[in-house]
């Protein structure tokens, strides 16, 4: 009887371990699909408020989890504004005042350019693969697709904004169709929904993302991909402080 109990316990632990590994692999595949080894994206950001609406066009470049650069190309008053990530360091370049601002860890949860995306959201400052543990907690439908609902819990030493994240990843295509971000008091801060699966570059991915804050009715920010190119070589030197100021 004792031997049987040990075997059952071992199989249960093995099942839990494999389940967790499956969750991490799902997140990894989804993240790789969205970002590739490198990416070049042209997009529009629409900031929607009950009284007004503001639009920006942008370009972004990324390489792995270490490098990210985003450039505002319109409207004219914001043209040339850029943000750069290198490793764990982030900067904003403000051409209107000709000043580079270092983004401190305390600023990661702050709004990027007045949108509902935080610095952390837009610049992928934290890695959803490496900075969290992952567990499948349910299977649900989102926008008609069967999805895994995965809970992401920060590792103890991870410098992340959120205390908990839920992601809904489609079984077809490994698309991130929904995510919820929670603060340190476990209150829902915002929800991101993804729509309009399209062929962009060499893959199909959601082309429209909507970030909706939980406590501000009528507010949302919509990010729409127009063009995307993946896995084209980009040298590390592209992601430099000098290039952040002159990239076009």
**pLDDT tens readout for residues 12-59:** 444 444 444 599 999 999 999 999 999 999 999 999 999 999 999 999
Tell the CATH topology of 3-246: outer membrane lipoprotein receptor (LolB), chain A (2.50.20)
> For the whole model, what pTM was predicted?
0.85
Query: Closest by alpha carbon to 99, among 107, 108, 91?
Result: 91
Please tell me the predicted confidence (pLDDT) of residue 123: 64
Question: Residues 179-188: contacts with CB within 8 Å, 24+ apart?
Answer: 187/214, 188/214
Residue matched to tokens 């299977």: 139
Per-residue pLDDT of 48-105, as tens digits, reads 999 999 999 999 999 988 899 999 999 999 999 999 999 878 899 999 999 999 988 7
Helix then strand then coil, in percent of the chain rounded to 5, is 20, 50, 30
pLDDT tens, 159-174?
788 999 999 999 999 9
Domain ranges for the chain: 3-246
Query: What are the backbone dihedrals phi and psi of residue 113, each rounded to the nearest 5 degrees, phi first?
Result: 55, 35
SS (H, E, C) 158-172: CCCCCCEEEEEEECC
């Amino acid at each position: 009887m004792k031997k049987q109990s040990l075997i059952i316990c071992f199989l249960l632990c093995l099942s839990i371990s494999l389940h967790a590994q499956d969750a991490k692999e799902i997140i990894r595949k989804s993240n790789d699909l969205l970002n590739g080894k490198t990416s070049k994206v042209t997009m529009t950001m629409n900031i929607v408020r009950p009284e007004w609406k503001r639009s920006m066009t942008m370009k972004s470049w990324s390489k792995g989890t270490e490098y990210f650069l985003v450039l505002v190309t319109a409207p004219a008053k914001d043209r040339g504004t850029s943000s750069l990530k290198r490793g764990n360091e982030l900067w904003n370049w403000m051409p209107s005042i000709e000043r580079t601002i270092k983004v401190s860890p305390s600023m990661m949860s702050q709004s990027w350019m007045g949108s509902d995306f935080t610095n952390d959201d837009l610049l992928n400052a934290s890695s959803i693969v490496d900075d969290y543990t992952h567990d499948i907690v349910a299977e649900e439908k989102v926008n008609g697709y069967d999805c895994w609902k995965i809970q992401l819990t920060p590792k103890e030493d991870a410098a992340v904004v959120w205390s908990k994240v839920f992601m809904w990843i489609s079984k077809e295509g490994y698309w991130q169709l929904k995510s919820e971000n929670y603060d340190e008091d476990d209150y829902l801060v915002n929800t991101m929904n993804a729509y309009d699966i399209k062929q962009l570059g060499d893959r199909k991915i959601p082309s429209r993302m909507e970030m909706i804050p939980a406590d501000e009715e009528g507010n949302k920010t919509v990010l729409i991909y127009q063009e995307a190119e993946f896995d084209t070589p980009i040298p590390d030197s592209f992601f430099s402080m000098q290039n952040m100021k002159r990239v076009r």
